[in-house]
Amino acid sequence: MIRIANGQGFWGDWLDAPVQLVEQGPIDYLILDYLAEVTMSILQKQKQQDPLLGYARDFPPLIHRIAKTLTERNIKVIANAGGVNPIGCAREVKRLAPELAVAVVLGDDILDRLNEFIENGHELRNMDTGEPVTAIRDRVLSANAYIGAFPLAKALATGADVVIAGRSTDTALAVAPMIHRFGWVRQDYNRLASATVAGHIVECGAQATGGNCQVDWQTLPDLANIGYPIVEAEPDGDFTVTKHHGTGGRIGVDVIKEQLLYELGDPKRYITPDCIADFTTIRLRDDGPARVRVCGVRGAPPTGTLKVSISYHYGWKATGTLVYTWPDAAKKARMADAIVRERLRRLDLQFEEIYTELLGADACHGPAAPPNADPPEVQLRIGVRARHKAAVERFTRELSPLVLSGPPGATGFGEGRPQVREVVAYWPALIPRREIVTRVEVVA
């Protein structure tokens, strides 16, 4: 049995969680999941501005902070913190923690190969719209293929203390240690599927231990010290989800079921680069305090393609807010919204969308919200999106005047004009897996 703990559900998660995991109890592997689709475009921009950047900058200082414990307890780290610059990330880790052996997995970043793929007849059609990638080729910001667990396991086989990847799947981080330690091969579909389920359960960190949980959330103990999830994995693929003793939160079948439904499409075909997992075969049972046993998972061979995550420049947006106070707060906010829209119309500005929310009235639940005829205050939130920046910039000058020229009781305008931000859009596509060749490098 090996213990695999996840201390990061996204870039920006609780900084102390990985430290807690390595210091408060036994684990063999610490996995850290940093990446989301839009994150790759952010990192690509950072790398364009500075070739030394392009990775999750929280990661090297974290490794420096826990390096001594990693060495003393023989804990290995697997992370996709490399973003679009795994080598740069690894070099910074080596600078801060030279005693650790570091390996990187490369090959997922295909931005420089897009023209090659197009010339070879790979249209990289949008999985939602069917359009070929040539429609947005001149606006592409990043392009990465999702790689699976076997390249990460190969990196572990070098003896690395820290393995750094770019755009691996979230589940691959947990699957790789099992492949490495148990000697699984690519045809072990049931075992790989079970490991994939384990990775899916823990990929969002404390969401598997009660965080963001709908079931009895008011009774969850000590969320300020919530424990992050640990998988106790066995060679046959079965596993137990648990957390360190004395930490907050809760692990139970109800909590695990919630996480299993996260980002789930066809439950019989959960597709990864390593296998297809059938979530309808999962069997759960409580196995003692803060322990859930998972078994029975069945799997099938992977598809012949890999998913590609492409981000591209779409346009510009801005969002501004004002707060209106009682009495008639909602009526005041709606009048202010109407004034802004009329002024924008008279300016003949072209927007793809103007979107308004009344926070405190019905922004979250719309018509399903319980009636509240006269709330004590309401936040008016107006956003616009356009292909051209000039229209969006003009919009940002239309909210502040309402303080004196609109309905009474306006406040919350102290931060000034809204900020114009770039809209980065997502383009999912597929590519034959034979086109993606990964490699492992040990960074000295």
CATH of the domain at 397: 3.30.70
**Residue 272 in contact with residue 148, Cβ under 8 Å?**
yes
Name the domain boundary from 302, 325, 340. 302
Whether 137 is covered by a domain: the verdict is no
Of 27, 10, 69, 16, the residue nearest 231 (C-alpha): 27
Q: What is the DSSP letter of 55?
A: S
What predicted TM-score, i.e. pTM, was given to this entire model?
0.94
Whole-number pLDDT of residue 228: 98
Name the domain boundary from 302, 335, 362. 302
| Whether residues 215 and 321 fall in one domain | no
Place of tokens 């990465």: 144
In terms of DSSP H, where are the helices of 241-361? 253-260, 329-346
Whole-number pLDDT of residue 294: 98
Q: How many other C-beta atoms can be found within 10 angstroms of the C-beta atom of residue 73?
A: 13
Place of tokens 């091969």: 185
| Whether residues 176 and 269 fall in one domain | yes
- How many domains is the chain built from? 2
| Whether residues 225 and 205 fall in one domain | yes
| Whether residues 286 and 202 fall in one domain | yes
Name the CA dihedral angle for 358, 362, 364, 369, rounded to a multiple of 10 degrees: 170
d(CA 195, CA 175): 5
Helix or strand holding residue 378 (H, E): strand 377-386
* Cα end-to-end distance, the chain, whole Å: 31
d(CA 326, CA 377): 6
Task: Give the pLDDT confidence of 405-440 residue by residue, as tens digits.
Answer: 999 999 988 788 999 999 999 999 999 999 999 999
Q: Which two tokens stand for residue 297?
A: 């998972």
Whether 161 is covered by a domain: the verdict is yes
State which residues form the domain around 356. 313-423
Largest CA distance in the chain: 71
| Whether residues 295 and 352 fall in one domain | no
| Whether residues 332 and 290 fall in one domain | no
Phi–psi pair at 353, nearest 5 degrees: -155, 140
| Whether residues 298 and 317 fall in one domain | no
d(CA 134, CA 93): 38
Whether 429 is covered by a domain: the verdict is no
At residue 322, what is the residue type?
L
CA atoms 405, 408, 414, 419: torsion sign: negative
For residue 250, the SS3 value is: coil
Name the domain boundary from 267, 302, 337. 302
| Whether residues 284 and 338 fall in one domain | no
What is the secondary structure of 68-132 as a DSSP string?
Answer: HHHHHHT-EEEE-TTTT-HHHHHHHHHHH-TTS-EEEEE--B-GGGHHHHHHTT-----TTT---
Mean pLDDT (the chain) is: 96
Whether 75 is covered by a domain: the verdict is yes
Whether 122 is covered by a domain: the verdict is no
Q: Tens-of-pLDDT digits for all 444 residues of the chain?
A: 999 999 999 999 999 999 999 999 999 999 999 998 778 888 988 988 899 999 999 999 999 999 999 999 999 999 999 999 999 999 999 999 999 999 999 999 999 999 999 999 999 999 999 999 999 999 999 999 999 999 999 999 999 999 999 999 999 999 999 999 999 999 999 999 999 999 999 999 999 999 999 888 999 999 999 999 999 999 999 999 999 999 999 999 999 999 999 999 999 999 999 999 999 999 999 999 999 999 999 999 999 999 999 999 999 999 999 999 999 999 999 999 999 999 999 999 999 999 999 999 989 998 898 988 899 999 999 999 999 999 999 999 999 999 999 999 999 887 889 999 999 999 999 999 999 999 999 998
Whether 281 is covered by a domain: the verdict is yes
Using alpha carbons, list the distances in angstroms from residue 104 to 30, 75, 81, 176: 16, 17, 10, 14
| Whether residues 256 and 338 fall in one domain | no
CA atoms 92, 98, 100, 105: torsion sign: positive
**Residue 126 in contact with residue 427, Cβ under 8 Å?**
yes
| Whether residues 244 and 355 fall in one domain | no
| Whether residues 340 and 286 fall in one domain | no
For residue 204, the SS3 value is: coil
Partners of 142 in the β-ladder: 311
Q: Which two tokens stand for residue 119?
A: 């010339």
Helix axes 59-73, 86-96, angle to 10 degrees: 60
Q: Which two tokens stand for residue 358?
A: 């009344």
Whether 132 is covered by a domain: the verdict is no
Whether 351 is covered by a domain: the verdict is yes
| Whether residues 277 and 377 fall in one domain | no
